[in-house]
Structure 1
Amino acid sequence: MSFIRTLTGDIDPDQLGVTYAHDHLFCIPPLWKEKKIDDFMIDDVEASIKDVELFVKAGGQAVYDATAIDYGRDPVALKIISERTGIKIIATAGFNKAVMWPGQMQGQNMTFQMWIDAHSRAEIRDHIASEITAGLDGTDIRGGVVKFGTGYNTISDAEDKVLRATLDAHKETNAPIHSHTELGTLILEQLAIVKAEGVDPSRLTIAHVDRNPDPWVHAKAAETGVYMCFDGISRIKYHPESVLIDCILKLVKRGYEKQVMIGGDIARRTMYRNYGEGGLGLGYILESWVPRFVEEAGEAGFDGKALIHTFMVENPKRAFAFRT
């Protein structure tokens, strides 16, 4: 038996539906707030709700919100968004990456780096596990995924400790795992640690794999059974959509379609349609990218609609499940 833990309760995986596998619906990153980088302040519940309504109108039903505590998560705001729009939201336990850790922890006279340095691997494990079993940030709203991250071709000592503690929390709670990769680097190195710690790679989803559009790396990762999130859609400054679609179809040709997931990683006001900046918005993937993918997949000899159903319905309900 398996279940998915959402902000409004545990559900059968078949209830999840069409899912974005990596986005940020509400977040106030402490470090970026301290640096007064306003574009990263996704801090207006009403504006977020309006964008979520675009997602729902386009057929969306669920979102994995990948906002960890060091990126400024707010489980209460997320739950309001879920209840007001009817979408299912999976929230994040754990941490993001070391570059965010100079930020001040809310309500405490220390940075995230100071807190991590002061706590052992076992203590960090217990903290992350409690976010799954008890609640996030002093609430009874529970996370549904444990997360870790690494830097650009670097894994600091603190990141290594948090990574292994997160894997320990997974072992304790059976929660699914999500990882941040900086520009898609260290995908295989993360997997080596996961396997060395005795964790099944099929319990992990790796984010930002499309930032490093290397089909060989993607194939080697896929061999382990890991899920891979293509969440750079619309980020033309990195790669055009054609590159992402080509990478996805290369995985499909190798038989790895059951390990591909899709998200937008929308985390800037300028990416939202309703934060006053006129961005593409949360509905963009379903409104515009999916039809393009279906067309290009068809030209390559595949059933594009069936692949989208696999990527956005079948794969998330397995990847985000607690398996008992």
Structure 2
Amino acid sequence: MSYIRTYQGDISPEQLGFTYTHEHLVCRPPYWVQKGEVDLLLDDKQKTALDVLDFKRHGGKAIVDATAVDYGRDVSAVKDISEKTGVTVIGTAGFNKSFLWHAPVPHHLVKLIGNYPTYYQWIDEKSVNALAEFVILEVEAGMEGTAVRGGQVKFGTGYNRITSLEEKTLRAVARAHHETKAPLHTHTEAGTMALEQIELLKKEGVPLEYVSFGHMDRNSDPYYHEQIAKTGAFLSFDGISKIKYAPESTRIDCILALVRKGYENQILVSGDTARKSYYRHYDYGLGLENIIAKWVPRFIAEADGRGFDGEALVRKFFVENPARCLMFKN
């Protein structure tokens, strides 16, 4: 039996619908709080909810909140948003990347992880298996002491390198995947180190078809994308709307290059909307509606113009592929 684990409980994959597979809804990352980076604090659940409703109004059904414990997750606020908007939310257990760990552990987490002054010291002092047990608890019992269980597990690595502690969390998350059968998502800084992550995951015995690699559009290299796709993994093009990194034409070219090579069943698309200035109702940004309302019609037109079935591809990227990617498989 396969199922998807959401904030409201387990559902069948057929119930998921049109899905953004990498977003952030409410978060106060301790690292960015310490640095005074206000734009990176999504701290008003009412404003976030208005953007979620915009997404829903255009046919959106589900959102993966990719906020891990070290990125200032707010489980109760996100649960409230999901309940009040009627949009399904999938939560995330696990970790982010190492530079974020040089920040104080919030007081409400001390009972859960111990009295460590920073995430770095917690991860450094705990064993791989102890960290795996923490992630397993978040998937099987609930995140941060709540009854809301994580629907995927996550780790991250930095730009062009994997630190020893990032490798430690990778191995912990891999072991949590084996225990829980939760799908696995990875953060790749600027789209780098996915192939190196793959080698480490293979050593931990993780089947790559359970894994989605984030930020693939930050590294717009078709050869690189193909090497990842050959493993059976999912590729997440999750920087839509961020023209500062690349024009949409580049993203669409990379996506269609993979489709042309037969990898359309392994592509995910979303926005990683993690700043106030990206949200419409925080700071006049393009908002959560931009992909579904504006990018999708453009993609269909471009795909159709190159001889593909654009509508069929959109259904794959936003409905069929997320339903397979997010499944727990017994």
TM-score under structure 1 length normalisation: 0.99
Report the equivalent of 1:92. 92
Report the equivalent of 1:321. 327
Cα separation, 1, equivalents of 2:192 and 2:34:
27
Report the equivalent of 2:30. 30
Counterpart residue type for residue 288 of structure 1: K
CA offset digits 1:98-155 (Å, max 9, x no partner): 0110111111451100100110001001011000001111111111100000000111
Q: Does 1:157 align with 2:136?
A: no
Cα separation, 1, equivalents of 2:287 and 2:193:
30
Match of 2:215 among 190, 208, 211: 208
CA offset digits 1:183-207 (Å, max 9, x no partner): 0001111111111211100000110
The structure that is helix-richer by fraction is 2
Cα separation, 2, equivalents of 1:214 and 1:272:
28
* Pairwise CA distance, 1:253: 0.2
Matches within 5 A, 1:105-254: 105-107=105-107, 108=110, 109-254=116-261
Q: Secondary structure at the match of 2:308?
A: coil
Cα separation, 1, equivalents of 2:42 and 2:10:
26
Report the equivalent of 1:297. 303
Aligned length: 323
* Pairwise CA distance, 1:227: 0.4
CA RMSD of aligned residues (A): 0.7
Q: Secondary structure at the match of 1:274?
A: helix
Q: Does 1:63 align with 2:63?
A: yes
TM-score under structure 2 length normalisation: 0.97
Runs of 5+ in structure 2 lacking a partner? 111-115
* Pairwise CA distance, 1:34: 1.1
Q: Structure 1 stretches (4+) deviating beyond 6 angstroms?
A: none
Q: Does 1:309 align with 2:298?
A: no
Per mean C-alpha deviation after superposition, the further-off stretch among 294-303 and 186-195 is: 186-195
CA offset digits 1:198-251 (Å, max 9, x no partner): 110000011000000000010010000000110111111111000000000000
Cα separation, 1, equivalents of 2:199 and 2:143:
29
Q: Secondary structure at the match of 2:145?
A: coil
Cα separation, 2, equivalents of 1:141 and 1:308:
30
* Pairwise CA distance, 1:316: 0.4
Counterpart residue type for residue 207 of structure 2: D
Cα separation, 1, equivalents of 2:272 and 2:42:
12
Q: Does 1:103 align with 2:109?
A: no
* Pairwise CA distance, 1:182: 0.1
Report the equivalent of 1:285. 291
Counterpart residue type for residue 40 of structure 1: L
Counterpart residue type for residue 119 of structure 2: F
Report the equivalent of 2:40. 40
